[in-house]
Structure 1
């Protein structure tokens, strides 16, 4: 069944949508297992321990109990799918081998922005899916990417390389279609800038000034998933977490955060760059790799690259 872009038929659930698009059965199984896992993550957010876990992740950051629990929930569901070869989670310090005969490898951030839960701000889960047993591939090799936003509504956005589609969780905790083929406008009027501005390079500072001069509005929550979701669903604008003085690689992780979001943004007609090259073309050197990012409307991302090339 083929629908016109932008149509929102009643009660098309996630599994049916994947079937209608004739996705691989095993890929459908993986995506639906992740959707199921999100139900338990939601419950953990609502009722779970907001304290620290007494452990740290591979970046040396203190883990929250919710991070650890969310990681366990997702890992269990992914293993349950029976088709996963390897898993790389932001919360573990090594790649986990699951099934030598598995068809897909997964990278994920189980609860991005978890430190915002105690002040009741939106957080999310980010997933990248690759064919084969190697997670250290360029992002352009992904077969699918998705994120789940735990906000006032719980929404799921996914792409398998044929557009970007948004779903919302209903009262039965099932995901039903909101809109198909989400599209980005060439340029936007909102911007979400991460990092301390007094540590921006001259090129980034001039880019920000140019956005302000044209009347762009600052919209930044401190959460990567909600801020990207705002840009994507409004169909315009740019999110950035640039290189900083003392942090030339920025803050965000290539495998767990940037590649999946870049894949989705490009599928919606947007762009994602580290200021010099396409995010999806970066060759990962390790699971802990970070990168600056400028992601959103194509013209805004191109303008960021221009200012960085000219002013540094």
Structure 2
């Protein structure tokens, strides 16, 4: 029985905090998730009214930071700092892991991308916040050890996809800027009919090219926004599809970051019955060596991801 049914309410009548409480989630984890939800209210306002210019700084990957990137990072970090339940944080916008509390007992560590796809804001496309949560103070561990993951999508509506290890649930921000449950336990079909291919096509390796050609031949529709959050959200909401940003001939490690992007998205997709792979191994089994680690990714419906792995293995022989 779902939390909404147990409470005798319809989905739109139950808010995020109440939902987590009725699932009997850890009180401090609930507080942490709600702090992040509160931070998103200020990020929404910043996207609507803020400076779209360059901040004059760069992140640890050498990418120019937009003013909105820096502001979003500060908003989230401040909420985490004052939550009282966080030991360490790692942000895609800063160059090191920050210790908030030297005593990690009963606390959590958080890796986050404060505004993924921020370069899309000035052309008015959807962007998002991605968050990964672990118990204790170690962020450099396999993603399978996450206790929760979420993303917030800032689009025509502001929505949150959340998992604490018991399925994936969607919440939407209402007029009072509170998150209410939209639907519980989203599920992916075994295979899909849409695909979102990142990376330069003429640099695909033979296995990836064979996989994409197969998707085209069977009539899959190309749906790629240039933003990881909206593309993964489309797959989860529609319940079908696959996203890929593969290894390229001149870039075997792909583009996306393990801590801030791949681990939380892989956790969510697996909780919905899907799969996430580098093309050779499960994303959630990767052992990060540093906060800057990247990896290729094929993520979405299980059978589609398995087929990508098959073609990549065959072409590597």
Q: TM-score, normalised by structure 2?
A: 0.96
Q: Is contact 2:274–2:300 with CA below 8 Å preserved after alignment?
A: yes
Match of 2:45? 43
Query: Is residue 2:183 matched to residue 1:167?
Result: no
Instruction: Please list every run of 5 or more consecutive structure 1 residues that lacks an aligned counterpart in the other structure.
Output: none
Partner of 2:285: 281
What is residue 30 of structure 1 aligned with on the other side? 32
1:128 equivalenced with 2:113 (yes/no): no
Partner of 1:10: 12
1: CA distance, partners of 2:177 / 2:137: 32
> Which residue, out of 266, 269, 287, partners 1:265?
269
Q: Residue in 2 aligned with 1:99?
A: 101
Match of 2:67 in 1: 65
In the alignment, structure 2 segments of 5+ residues that lack a partner are none
Match of 2:216 in 1: 212
Secondary structure in 2 aligned to 1:186?
coil
Runs of 4 or more above 6 Å deviation: none
Deviations 1:206-231 (A, max 9, x none): 00010011110000000000000000
Q: 1:205-259: CA deviations, max 9, x gaps?
A: 0000100111100000000000000001100100000001211101000000000
The number of aligned residues is 311
Question: Separation in 2 of the partners of 1:33 and 1:100?
Answer: 20
SS of the residue 2:235 aligns to: helix
Question: What residue number does 1:148 align with?
Answer: 152
Q: 1:75 aligns with which of 74, 77, 100?
A: 77
Partner secondary structure for residue 147 of structure 2: strand
Kept after mapping to 2: 8 A contact 1:241/1:250? yes
Aligned partners of 1:31, 1:2: CA distance in 2, in Å? 17
Whether contact under 8 Å (1:262, 1:295) holds in the other structure is: yes
Question: Which residue of structure 1 lines up, in the alignment, with residue 204 of structure 2?
Answer: 200
Find the aligned partners of 2:130 and 2:187 in 1 and give their Cα distance. 20
Once residues 148 and 216 of structure 2 are traced to their aligned partners in structure 1, the CA distance between those partners, rounded to angstroms, is: 35
Q: CA deviation at 1:4?
A: 6.0
Q: Is the CA contact (8 Å cut-off) linking 1:8 and 1:178 kept in structure 2?
A: no
Q: Matches of 1:33 and 1:205 in 2, distance apart? A: 43
CA distance in 2, matches of 1:11, 1:35: 17
Deviation, structure 1 residue 177: 0.5
Contact 2:190 2:301 in 1 (8 A): yes
Displacement, 1:3? 4.6
**Aligned counterpart, 2:295:** 291
TM-score by length of 1: 0.98
Equivalent-residue separation in structure 2 for 1:247 and 1:280 (angstroms): 21
- Which of 248, 255, 272 is matched with 2:252 structurally? 248
Q: Would the aligned equivalents of 1:8 and 1:179 in 2 still touch at CA under 8 Å? A: no
Q: Deviations over 1:136-186 (max 9, x none)?
A: 010000000000000000000100000000000000000001000000100
Aligned residue number for residue 58 of structure 2: 56
Report how far residue 11 of structure 1 moved: 1.3
Q: Is the 8 A contact 1:70 1:110 kept in 2?
A: yes
Q: Does the 8 Å CA contact 1:186/1:297 hold for their aligned counterparts? A: yes
Q: Which residue of 2 aligns with 1:233?
A: 237
Which of 114, 130, 137 aligns to 2:118? It is 114
Partner of 1:181: 185
Q: CA RMSD in A?
A: 1.2
